[in-house]
Amino acid sequence: MPSQANCALPPGFQLDQYRIERQLSLGGFSIVYLARDAHGMAVAIKEYLPNSLALRKEGETEPQVSEEHRLAFRYGMKCFFEEGRSLAKLMHPNVVRVLNFFRANGTVYMVMQFERGRTLHDYIRKHRGEVKEMLIRAVFARMLNGLREVHAHKLMHLDIKPSNIYLRNDGTPVLLDFGAARQTLMSDQPVLKPMYTPGYAAPEQYEKGAQLGPWTDIYSVGASLHACFVGSPPPRADERAREDTLQPLARTQAGRYSRQLLELVDWCLHLDPQQRPPSVYALQKALIHQENAPERPEHWFSDLGSRLRSFIGRS
């Protein structure tokens, strides 16, 4: 079945205990809605609806899935449900909070805390080439606190990119939209087309049967940092594997940012996973360290709200 556009559930639709207000986003894998619970609290609801497998037409509630794609659709739905179950166990200020997950309308829904602010992608686009080093270090050091918690629970994000790093109104970052369920489907289970973001995905995400791990997320963090400097991610990792045209940032951005920070990003972007930072903690420690600045303990970055708020508020 070729990819197609799925119709969102309409405003006012009652979905379990939630009433949909409007669609927030539409992607190839899911639809995200703004909704209200029974107490009037705003929540974001992500609906599992891969447009390569299912089609929901205008006015319909349940998606149509052909017999050919039924097994893959159900397997993906199971993975999505398990992803919600796993994420619901995470309680960290820098990771999206999953409040509920349930089955309805022939598919699965994940209810998340609704955050107010904007994505790092939007911030980069507005300040292209002028994102301050202090902001970069502060946002990513705090975001990595959340990623460390994810890895501590034996989970991976697998879709880190600026559009999945959300800056709350107070400037603090929160990781959104995990790609675990999508990536799980790259295995020998019923096939669903792999969904990754070119430029931000690590080379091993393009290789069937390759081992994924924290090193995979570290590459994506490096690519996201790269976008902060130049406004776009590095070339696709699969293209780099054939012919690597990526010039080190320590050379192309010299004089604009500290050499230590630029070399740190180049370290993350090694094609060989063994040549990247050995852990998120090691990456975070290197990110906190700044040349020609007093040595700061790790907890220095645990109270960045006022600093980040001042950056975001002026923008």
CATH number at residue 187: 1.10.510.10
Number of alpha carbons in the 13 Å side-chain half-sphere of residue 240: 22
Degrees (nearest 5) of the Cα angle 131, 133, 139? 85
The CATH number that applies at residue 107 is 3.30.200.20
Q: Does some domain include residue 3?
A: no
Q: Does some domain include residue 282?
A: yes
Q: Is 142 in the same domain as 256?
A: yes
Q: Is 105 in the same domain as 130?
A: no
Positive or negative CA dihedral for 99, 102, 105, 109? positive
Of 97, 113, 129, the position where a domain reaches its end is 113
Distance CA 229, CA 124 (A): 9
Q: How, if at all, do strands 117-119 and 165-168 pair? A: antiparallel
Q: Is 100 in the same domain as 134?
A: no
Of 84, 113, 142, the position where a domain reaches its end is 113
pTM: 0.86
Q: Is 177 in the same domain as 103?
A: no
For residue 22, CA distances in Å to 8, 62, 66, 80 come to: 9, 18, 28, 22
Q: Does some domain include residue 1?
A: no
Provide the residue-wise pLDDT of the chain in tens; the chain has 315 residues: 445 689 999 999 999 999 999 999 888 889 999 999 999 999 999 999 988 899 999 999 999 999 999 998 998 898 888 888 888 889 999 999 999 999 999 999 999 999 999 999 999 999 988 899 999 999 999 999 999 999 998 888 889 999 999 999 988 999 988 764 444 434 444 444 556 789 999 999 998 888 889 999 999 999 999 999 999 999 999 999 999 999 999 999 999 999 999 999 999 999 999 999 999 999 999 998 765 554 555 554 445 555 555 555 555
Q: Is 173 in the same domain as 190?
A: yes
Number of folded domains in the chain?
Answer: 2
Distance CA 191, CA 43 (A): 31
Q: Does some domain include residue 4?
A: no
Find the domain containing 194 and state its range.
117-313
Q: Is 140 in the same domain as 75?
A: no
For residue 7, CA distances in Å to 36, 89, 224 come to: 20, 31, 31
Q: Is 262 in the same domain as 138?
A: yes
Q: Is 101 in the same domain as 139?
A: no
Q: Does some domain include residue 6?
A: no
Of 85, 113, 141, the position where a domain reaches its end is 113
Q: Is 172 in the same domain as 87?
A: no
Q: Is 101 in the same domain as 167?
A: no
